Amino acid sequence: MAMNILITGAGGFIGRNLVEVLEEEEGYTLFKFNSADDPRLLKDYTAGCDFLFHLAAVHRPGDEAEFERVNKKFLEGVLALLRKHGNRCPVLLTSSIQAVDDSAYGRSKRAAEKLVREHAENGGGKAIVYRLTNTFGRYARPNGHSVVATFCYNIARDLPIVISDPGRTMHLYYIDDVIESFLQQLHGTLEPDDDGFYRLPKELEYHVTLGEMAEIIYGFRDLVRRGEDFMPRDEFSAKLYRTFLSYL
């Protein structure tokens, strides 16, 4: 029997990548929900799902009130529907390392984490909370959502990039590594860190300064234009190159 998987935010950066992978595998029926969809769909989806990936969130809205409405209140409603149906399916929430910050975004992600954990403690399904760092890869939106996407998109088109602090170190996850970790959760093979949150293994967290990253991507552009083969010097460079190619 197929596993029914509900994905909120299915059309976003992480959602699109997750959907793409799951649709290539057998044994899954996907319930995809996005902000433009009829909210009544969630009544059926929450009744029949065996696993929930809650990826719906806003990062840089025009109005800070959207943090409360989307990152907290929408999740609250989804969890309430699960409880109404007596559905104890696992709930995977994508949170952020910024959940520790005293910003409107950080507070909204902290509130979402609390909601999922309280849902589990009060008879709901297992709470799986990922605190993700900056994640890069195909489908991330340039000039608004992802610095890696912005650099790749603009440099490929000879558009300017702005680097206020070239020495600033970025901590990055690659989207395929994140999705692989998510897939393992479908079969319950991972354990959280000591603080109860899930993260990728340390070896899959890449550190690079903004200046170094820009230099690498400019090098990719020049290689492509000369028609030369790319020889990755390390795993991070290979993943960044694949990302760059996706923006050509």
Specify the amino acid at residue 52.
L
> Rounded to an integer, what distance in angstroms lies between the CA atom of residue 180 and that of residue 183?
5
| DSSP structure string for 99-142 | GGSSSHHHHHHHHHHHHHHHHHHTT-PPEEEEEE-EEESTTPPT
The answer to whether residues 183 and 53 touch, using CB atoms and an 8 Å cutoff, is no
The answer to whether residues 243 and 172 touch, using CB atoms and an 8 Å cutoff, is no
> Rounded to an integer, what distance in angstroms lies between the CA atom of residue 48 and that of residue 45?
5
> Rounded to an integer, what distance in angstroms lies between the CA atom of residue 8 and that of residue 28?
16
DSSP 8-state assignment for residue 230: P
139: annotated active-site residue:
no
Half-sphere exposure of 241 (CA within 13 A, CB side): 15
Dihedral of CA atoms 244, 26, 128, 125 in degrees, nearest 10, equals 160
Pick the catalytic residue from 105, 153, 206, 241. Answer: 105
Active site residues: 105
